[in-house]
């Protein structure tokens, strides 16, 4: 496992043979799939497919555990928003009435639909983060001729995020060394004392940005003027070749998206009326 | 020899400060020389380096008086990004100067800014990674390598741009003695094989002295002493008074001088001191005799 600013990536993986652009294209396009799919079983299939891709890519599946709390809290928020905070709808089928809080079948169903739309999107992002290094992102953006300024600002943002995290650890250790430790204290206490971390962190960030600007200028980077218009060689791209297999994968991803659109809007696929999960659930709750 | 860098009555005061950081500096640095700049903290060493790289006054607000002429042109007359093509700078904190995600990208960034072609970049990269022994680290993120390696990356990134003048601002202040030596080994090789003008601000005199052709002592923003390295360290009393601790060998001979036991040139390295001592003490056993006893 190698640590990146974005997470952990495997040391060796067949996915490294894939051009970074294909990975970025996969992220951007496949995460759109669930938006056009209402029936959860199809979105579950997308999730299974992505998990399979992760396994093939030798991603350490244990790292997925860190996303479980996110998935649970997100599910809870969605469920509460659609049910407890979902309002009164006499036209809907009432499932339960708990102390005046009405749980309607349609609202529960909608919560499940939304949740199973978001989960594959997150999983697609996790797949990207667990198989891509920071450099891949930059290469992917540069290979589609994104202006250097944009890719560079993006790279600097990634770099800055890593530095802030490192600085935060330094400040935290310095505070702990002087006897301040919020471990085991209440959340209110932690929030109140958070300023003790924030002020030095803010000061450090200002200093870092000054040093960073100096470093950029010292390396001959000009923000304006004649020397800012120098034609850049994009040396990093010489390490990557867009092979036939990459073209095929890009085409498959693109065609899959088109196929989903055609099936959804041309043949009315993926809708709730045909969902066997909901048919089964409805039958279970109402008994026929 | 022609002066590649020239300070003429140069004074710089940062905005909102009462005293100038540099006062009436007059200095001429000749092409191809290896210059060491020393001085206590707050002496103005970094400001002096920034003044040679255009960061002062380019990036800082302040009041300037006098001139700083680099390669025959006043610093302020250079276009943005032009001076840095001739003057490279390595900062003291390697972490703070990284701008890329891998060591290779870091080394390439400056060359791309200069508009070098891919084949030129490849050639330069090969040369610089050989010189600094970084080939095995090219795919690593710069924040994952050791402190010494980081500083070598920073040095290599500037070297790859082939500047005529290289400024190093306390390049080894954050390094352990072994890493420090490796950085100076690279500088020594550079001195042997290239003709760059190298200016190093450094506290580690043991490493600096064998390489430096000339030394500058800066104190309270003023140049107190500027001379050939050997002559520079003959002024041991002045150096000590200004908070500089010359190498042990030099201090020892200075003590002898003070006590009237020695009147010659003060040796600056342990080897030279041992030789000198051997000459002073005829009964001093030779290596062969010493090994027999």
CB burial of B5-36 (b: ≥16 within 10 Å; e: otherwise) equals: bbbeebbbbbeeeeebbbbebebebeebbbbb
The 3-state secondary structure of A146-207, one letter per residue: CCHHHHHHHHHHHHHHHHHHHHHHHHHHHHHHCCCCCCCCCHHHHHHHCHHHHHHHHHHHHH
Q: How far apart are CA A252 and CA A254, in angstroms?
A: 5
What pLDDT was estimated at residue A248? 97
Average pLDDT per run of 10 along chain A, which is 288 residues long? 71 92 95 96 97 94 86 93 90 89 92 96 92 88 89 83 80 83 77 80 87 89 84 91 95 97 95 91 81
- How many Cβ atoms from other residues are within 10 Å of residue B122's Cβ? 16
What's the CATH fold of domain B3-229? Rossmann fold (3.40.50)
Read off the tokens for A168: 């935060």
* Domain positions in chain A: 2-138+243-286, 147-239
| Probe site for chain B from A205, A235, A239, A240 (most B CB atoms < 10 A) | A235
Taking CA atoms, B74 is separated from A7, A228, B60, B77, B201, in Å, by 48, 21, 17, 5, 22
What pLDDT was estimated at residue B290? 64
What pLDDT was estimated at residue B286? 62
What pLDDT was estimated at residue A241? 92
Q: Does A238 touch chain B (CB under 8 A)?
A: yes
Q: Does B47 touch chain A (CB under 8 A)?
A: no
Place of tokens 């697609």: A124
Backbone angles phi, psi at B137, to 5 degrees: -110, 0
What pLDDT was estimated at residue A59? 92
Task: Report CB contact under 8 Å: A235, B118.
Answer: yes
* Domain positions in chain B: 3-229, 247-293
Radius of gyration of chain B (CA): 21
User: What is the predicted ipTM?
Assistant: 0.84
Read off the tokens for B213: 């052709």
| Probe site for chain B from A1, A141, A208, A220 (most B CB atoms < 10 A) | A220
Backbone angles phi, psi at B270, to 5 degrees: -60, -40
Least CB-CB distance to A215: which of B80, B99, B112? B99
- Which residues lie closer than 8 Å to A177 by C-beta, 6 or more apart? none
pLDDT in tens, A212-224: 889 889 988 888 8
**Angle separating helix axes A20-30 and A134-143, nearest 10 degrees:** 90
- Which residues lie closer than 8 Å to A132 by C-beta, 6 or more apart? A4, A6, A9, A20, A23
Place of tokens 């201090």: B251
Å between B96 CA and nearest CA of chain A: 6
Q: How far apart are CA A102 and CA A46, in angstroms?
A: 32
CA A238 to centroid of chain Cα atoms: 28
Å between A3 CA and nearest CA of chain B: 9
What pLDDT was estimated at residue B44? 95
Q: Enter the DSSP assignment of B137.
A: G
pTM to 2 decimal places = 0.80
Of the candidates A162, A140, A158, A151, the one whose C-alpha atom is nearest the C-alpha of residue A232 is A151
Going residue by residue through chain B (293 aa), what tens digit of pLDDT does each one get?
679 999 999 999 999 899 999 999 999 999 999 999 999 999 999 999 999 999 989 899 999 999 999 999 999 999 988 999 999 999 988 887 888 889 999 999 999 999 999 999 999 999 999 989 999 999 888 888 988 899 999 999 999 998 999 999 999 888 888 888 888 998 999 888 888 899 999 988 989 999 999 999 999 999 999 999 999 999 988 998 998 988 888 889 999 988 998 888 889 888 889 888 888 886 666 666 666 65
CB A128 within 8 A of CB A27: yes
Q: How far apart are CA A130 and CA A3, in angstroms?
A: 10
Task: Report CB contact under 8 Å: B118, A155.
Answer: no
CA A206 to centroid of chain Cα atoms: 28
Q: Enter the DSSP assignment of B85.
A: G
């Amino acid at each position: 496992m190698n640590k990146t600013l974005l997470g952990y990536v495997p040391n060796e993986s067949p996915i490294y043979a894939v051009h970074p652009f294909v990975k970025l294209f996969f992220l951007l396009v496949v995460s759109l799939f669930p938006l056009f799919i209402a029936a959860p079983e199809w979105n579950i299939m997308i999730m299974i497919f992505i998990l399979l891709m992760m396994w093939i890519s030798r991603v350490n599946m244990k790292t997925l555990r860190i996303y479980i709390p996110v998935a649970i809290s997100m599910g809870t928020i969605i469920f509460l928003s659609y049910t407890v905070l979902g309002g009164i709808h006499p036209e809907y089928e009432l499932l339960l009435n708990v102390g005046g809080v009405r749980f309607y079948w349609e609202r529960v169903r909608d919560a499940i639909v939304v949740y199973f739309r978001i989960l594959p999107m997150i999983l697609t992002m996790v797949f990207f983060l667990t198989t891509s290094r920071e450099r891949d992102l930059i290469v992917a953006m540069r290979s589609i001729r994104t202006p250097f300024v944009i890719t560079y600002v993006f790279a600097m943002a990634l770099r800055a995020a890593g530095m802030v995290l490192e600085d935060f650890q330094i400040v935290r250790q310095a505070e702990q060394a002087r006897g301040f430790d919020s471990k085991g204290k209440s959340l209110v206490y932690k929030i109140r004392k958070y300023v003790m971390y924030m002020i030095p962190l803010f000061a450090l960030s200002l200093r870092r940005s000054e040093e960073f600007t100096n470093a950029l200028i010292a390396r001959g980077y000009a923000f304006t003027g004649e020397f800012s218009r120098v034609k850049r060689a994009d040396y990093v791209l010489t390490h990557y070749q867009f092979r036939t297999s990459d073209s095929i994968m890009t085409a498959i991803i693109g065609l899959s998206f088109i196929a989903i659109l055609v099936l959804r809007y041309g043949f009315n696929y993926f809708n709730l009326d045909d969902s066997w999960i909901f048919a089964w659930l409805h039958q279970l709750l109402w008994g026929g | 020899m022609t002066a590649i860098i020239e300070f003429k009555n140069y004074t710089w005061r940062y905005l909102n400060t009462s005293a100038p950081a540099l006062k009436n500096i007059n200095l001429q640095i000749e092409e191809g020389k290896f210059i060491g700049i020393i001085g206590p903290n707050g002496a103005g060493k970094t400001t002096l380096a920034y003044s040679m790289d255009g960061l002062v006054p380019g990036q800082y607000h302040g009041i300037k008086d006098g001139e700083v002429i680099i390669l025959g042109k006043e610093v302020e007359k250079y276009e943005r990004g032009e001076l840095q093509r001739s003057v490279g700078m390595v900062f003291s904190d390697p972490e703070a100067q990284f701008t890329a995600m891998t060591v290779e990208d870091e080394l390439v960034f400056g060359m791309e800014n200069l508009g070098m072609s891919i084949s030129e970049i490849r050639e330069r990269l090969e040369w610089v990674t050989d010189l600094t022994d970084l080939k095995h680290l090219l795919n690593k993120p710069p924040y994952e390598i050791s402190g010494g390696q980081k500083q070598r990356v920073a040095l290599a990134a500037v070297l790859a741009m082939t500047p005529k003048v290289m400024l190093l601002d306390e390049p080894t202040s954050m390094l352990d003695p072994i890493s420090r030596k490796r950085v100076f080994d690279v500088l020594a090789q550079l001195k042997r094989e290239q003709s760059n003008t190298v200016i190093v601000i450094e506290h580690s005199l043991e490493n600096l002295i064998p390489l430096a052709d000339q030394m500058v002592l800066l104190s309270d923003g003023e140049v107190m002493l500027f001379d050939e390295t050997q002559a520079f360290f003959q002024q041991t009393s002045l150096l000590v008074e200004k908070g500089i601790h010359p190498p042990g060998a030099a201090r020892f001979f200075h003590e002898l001088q003070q006590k009237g036991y020695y009147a010659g040139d003060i040796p600056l390295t342990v080897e030279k001191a041992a030789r000198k001592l051997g000459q002073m003490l005829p009964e001093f056993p030779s290596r062969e005799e010493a090994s027999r006893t």
